[in-house]
Amino acid sequence: MDSCWVVSYGTFSGSSRSSLQQEESAAPEVEMEVEVKDVEGETKKLKYPRAIPFIVSNEFCERFNYYGMRTVLVLYLTRKLDFDDDTATVLYHTFTTLVYFMCVVGAIIADSWLGKFRTIFYLSIVYTIGSACIALGAIPTWDLNARAATIAGLLLIAFGSGGIKPCVAAFGGEQFKLPEQAKYLALFFSMFYFAVNSGSFVSTMVTPILREDVKCFDDDDCFPLAFGVPGVLMVVSIIIFVLGKPLYKMSAPAGNMFVKVSKCIWTAIRTRSREKSVNPREHWLDYSEKRWGRQLVDETRILLNVLTLYIPLPVFWALFDQQGSRWTFQATRMDGDLGFWTIKPDQMQVINPLLILVFIPLYEIAFYPLLSMIGIRRPLQKLTLGGIFAGVAFVISTIVEIQLESTYAVLPKAGEGQLRIFNGLECDYLVRSDVPEHADFTLERMSMFEEKYLSVSGSARYTYTMTSTSAGPDCEVPVQGTFEVNEEKQISYFLRKQNGGTDMLRYEDDTEKSSKGYPMFRVLGSTATNRIVVFRDIDTSKPFDRHTNGSYVYDLIESYPSDYDIFVDGELTLTFSMRLGGVYAFIVSDLDNGRATIQTIEVTEANSINMLWLIPQYVVMTLGEVMYSITGLEFSFTQAPQSMKSVLQGCWQLTVAVGNLIVVIVAEAKIFDAQKWEFVLFAGLMFVDMGLFAILAWRYKAIPLKTYDEEDDPNATLPIEQKEEHGLDNPAFKKASDE
């Protein structure tokens, strides 16, 4: 679920490990112990640090906030802030891009300036302010600019969440004395990973319930609560973290390797441009050796060798993170009713953290042994297979989307128009017209006729005559006139009672499903006198009149999926269940005895494909994630020098940021009219990308690690401050052969 849960800038670096071995803490300790021998040969007992529960609990609360907010975010952007699906997708993935970009910035701040404790504390406050902005902006009665508050809140959360992400795990690692407590360090990371996915699982399950099942501020849902509860958990995380301060080991900032590597590369580029012709070197990085030393140059070369394999990696994250955007929108077009429980569209995201907790042990016990039997044993093979799984997941989502299209409204294209006729009278009519392929057709009482594929250029007119053999004064007089249909328009006519006679009302229709996934309905009044029609939600504990319409008003209303008692002039006339995605017309008509009747017409089919059909694509994507993410980090760590592991983790997080940027570009380009083609694009891109990765993996040659000491490299231990102060003219930068 969280691709950089083990980010630990400096924790595994040589300098940090040394400081951990040298630093003694007066913090109290628990009873778990490890026996080691000190320099005098006496046995000492190292106990499990008592600070760890505070750090793990802090992480649980922070992840609850992050994933709880992100779970309902795209629905809030579309349903409350009225962004369309593409814009909401862009905002969602731009936010995720900023979060992972800020991981690198947060690590630099912690290692070069504030230290991990103060970075976590200060940025957590920024994080909390951002959560409060979104929650308060969602309260409609406060009359705040909800869009501005949301954008500001997302920026603050991106800075806060991304900034503390690389620091928390590293700070926890610093509480252990290495290598004596390496076993307990491994246990800590297992606990930390469990806290990450537990927080994600619980919040992904709970926040959709708070959003939909709670009513507040006279709304059908309660986004302020769905954002507010995670925000409160963020406050709790700060309190827990601060309470543990007396127990923490805290080391001073020791400089960030990411900065050193960047300076080393910049020096090589700048020096090479001046000295290439007079002082050729075997590798372009060798031009920075005089300033930065042989060790840093060689280790940077190893780092860049590994990073070559990172070039195709962002595409995986472009697919993976669409679980919270495109796949959530896909779920809104499906039916979540299980009979005993209704799944919320955003709750489908809970499958990912749940499956992660199941798949990790299964991979070790069953999956990897089975893969080894067919020759897939090496890390790069597993990583390639993980990416292929992601592509397969999008193939599955494409198949689901094709099936969903049969439930979508048919919209007129260029050269087409649509005609619908609603009969609001208690009369059956024989219609004679010059509508193509419909010269004669029957329009039954309280029913609808439709033609979705009329060939129209600009506009077209069709004459008609409607005669009825039904009894009753309203049915005796023939109805004549002209239907006018416009290109790329949906035109509807409503035959109704009006002023003691009959009348044909024309209006421009819209049968497209709500982008929010809600049902939509219209009231068509065909009564002798004006009547009041009230829809009362019977699923609430207290009857709630959601919508009221006069009989002569044709209205299009976005409703809430629920069971409704429908009253006409205060009298219960019909009980009806409006389902997700449906577009309904309610024809209200008078009977002979003066009482009203209501006829329901489903203009656009409600969501009929069950949301459980999304499970296969989530399962396959999670299979790919476990193999891709964990194997990729493991391979990177084993290939990189000890001092470069933190830099590699930063670059790994940047691949997530770039992946989300790819989604932003595709969504903003709006290349496709149908969602299925966008899924096809990403699936194809993933397969091509893994083909490129397979070629890079086949050509990859590991550069052996070397052991350096001061005799081999006089500059290896020179402080960075001295190098920066004296520059290339510093005699310490010159090797004996240069003098």
How confident is the model over 383-404, as pLDDT tens digits? Answer: 999 999 999 999 999 999 999 9
| pLDDT given at position 637 | 65
pLDDT exceeds 60 at position 133: yes
| pLDDT given at position 29 | 41
CA distance 307 to 391: 22
pLDDT band at 285 (very low <50, low <70, confident <90, very high): confident
Instruction: Please list, residue by residue across 498-526, b when 16 or more beta carbons sit within 10 angstroms of its beta carbon and e when fewer do.
Output: beeebebbeeebbbebbbbbbbbbbbbbb
pLDDT band at 541 (very low <50, low <70, confident <90, very high): low
Residue 469's Cβ-count burial label (10 Å; 0-12, 13-18, 19+) is exposed
CA distance 62 to 56: 10
User: To 10 degrees, what angle do helices 257-275 and 289-307 make?
Assistant: 110
Q: Does residue 285 contact residue 627 with C-beta atoms inside 8 Å? A: no
**pLDDT (mean) for 499-523:** 86
| pLDDT given at position 141 | 85
Q: How many CA atoms lie within 13 A of 666 on its CB side?
A: 23
Quote the tokens at residue 482: 């002209």
Say how many residues make up the chain: 739
pLDDT band at 662 (very low <50, low <70, confident <90, very high): very high
pLDDT exceeds 80 at position 124: yes
Residues near 731 by beta carbon (within 8 Å), at least 6 away in sequence: none
The string of DSSP letters for 682-719 reads: HHHHHHHHHHHHHHHHHH--PPPP----TTT-TTTT--
pLDDT band at 83 (very low <50, low <70, confident <90, very high): very high
Q: Which amino acid is at 288?
A: S
Q: Does residue 387 contact residue 693 with C-beta atoms inside 8 Å? A: yes
| pLDDT given at position 709 | 61
**pLDDT (mean) for 206-228:** 89
SS3 672: coil
* Weakest mean pLDDT among 23-27, 532-536, 583-587: 23-27
Residues near 564 by beta carbon (within 8 Å), at least 6 away in sequence: 535, 536, 537, 538, 546, 575, 576, 577, 578
CA distance 664 to 680: 17
pLDDT band at 45 (very low <50, low <70, confident <90, very high): low
Q: How many CB atoms lie within 10 A of CB 555?
A: 14
pLDDT exceeds 90 at position 190: no
Q: Does residue 435 contact residue 464 with C-beta atoms inside 8 Å? A: yes
| pLDDT given at position 38 | 47
Q: How many CA atoms lie within 13 A of 324 on its CB side?
A: 31
pLDDT band at 21 (very low <50, low <70, confident <90, very high): very low
Q: Does residue 681 contact residue 672 with C-beta atoms inside 8 Å? A: yes
Q: Whose CA is closest to 531, among 545, 552, 505, 551? A: 551
In the predicted model, what is the mean pLDDT of the chain?
83
SS3 480: strand
CA distance 667 to 675: 10
Q: How many CB atoms lie within 10 A of CB 672?
A: 13
pLDDT higher at 128 or 545: 128
User: To 10 degrees, what angle do helices 52-79 and 116-137 make?
Assistant: 30
| pLDDT given at position 498 | 78
CA distance 695 to 644: 25
pLDDT exceeds 70 at position 41: no
pLDDT band at 552 (very low <50, low <70, confident <90, very high): low
Distances (CA, A) of 711 to 315, 325, 503: 45, 56, 101
Task: Give the model confidence (pLDDT) of 244-261 as tens digits.
Answer: 999 998 888 767 778 888
pLDDT exceeds 80 at position 733: no
pLDDT higher at 542 or 31: 542
Q: Whose CA is closest to 51, among 314, 231, 244, 322? A: 244
| pTM for the model | 0.78
Distances (CA, A) of 321 to 74, 97, 347, 395: 12, 10, 15, 16
Quote the tokens at residue 608: 């009929």
| pLDDT given at position 246 | 93
Q: Does residue 146 contact residue 137 with C-beta atoms inside 8 Å? A: yes
CA distance 139 to 307: 46
pLDDT higher at 111 or 568: 568
The dihedral sign for the CA sequence 78, 580, 545, 229:
negative
pLDDT band at 284 (very low <50, low <70, confident <90, very high): confident
| pLDDT given at position 624 | 92
| pLDDT given at position 18 | 34
Q: Does residue 548 contact residue 567 with C-beta atoms inside 8 Å? A: no
CA distance 116 to 13: 15
| pLDDT given at position 530 | 81
| pLDDT given at position 728 | 42
pLDDT exceeds 60 at position 11: no
Q: Does residue 537 contact residue 560 with C-beta atoms inside 8 Å? A: yes
pLDDT exceeds 50 at position 734: no
Question: Sheet holding 448-455: strands in order across?
Answer: 448-455, 416-423, 490-498, 501-508
SS3 583: strand
| pLDDT given at position 711 | 47
pLDDT higher at 39 or 349: 349
Distances (CA, A) of 677 to 397, 649, 670: 11, 34, 11
**pLDDT (mean) for 104-122:** 88
**pLDDT (mean) for 50-68:** 93
pLDDT band at 700 (very low <50, low <70, confident <90, very high): confident
Q: What is the dihedral of CA 5, 6, 10, 13, to 10 degrees?
A: -160
pLDDT higher at 648 or 379: 379
| pLDDT given at position 587 | 92
pLDDT exceeds 90 at position 131: yes
Bond preceding residue 179 cis, omega within 30 of 0: yes
Q: Whose CA is closest to 692, among 392, 380, 389, 376? A: 380
Q: Does residue 271 contact residue 727 with C-beta atoms inside 8 Å? A: no
Q: Which amino acid is at 609?
A: I
**pLDDT (mean) for 437-464:** 93
| pLDDT given at position 585 | 94
Q: Whose CA is closest to 720, among 706, 707, 708, 730? A: 730
Bridge partners (DSSP) of residue 45 are 35
CA distance 384 to 700: 14
Bridge partners (DSSP) of residue 602 are 584
Place of tokens 């940021």: 657
**Residue 512 DSSP code:** P
Distances (CA, A) of 362 to 73, 333, 383, 635, 691: 32, 33, 17, 20, 27
| pLDDT given at position 646 | 67
pLDDT higher at 551 or 595: 595
pLDDT exceeds 50 at position 13: no
* Weakest mean pLDDT among 39-53, 70-84, 207-221, 299-313: 39-53
> Helix %, strand %, coil % for the chain, to 5?
55, 20, 30
Place of tokens 């309470």: 243
Task: Give the model confidence (pLDDT) of 343-394 as tens digits.
Answer: 888 888 888 888 887 887 888 788 888 888 888 888 888 899 999 999 999 9
Share of the chain above pLDDT 90, in %: 44
Q: Does residue 325 contact residue 93 with C-beta atoms inside 8 Å? A: yes
Distances (CA, A) of 248 to 241, 253, 499: 10, 15, 83
Q: Does residue 483 contact residue 435 with C-beta atoms inside 8 Å? A: yes
| pLDDT given at position 44 | 53
pLDDT band at 727 (very low <50, low <70, confident <90, very high): very low
CA distance 559 to 270: 64
Quote the tokens at residue 317: 């994250």
Task: Give the model confidence (pLDDT) of 559-601 as tens digits.
Answer: 888 889 999 888 899 999 998 889 999 999 887 667 889 999 9
pLDDT exceeds 50 at position 716: no
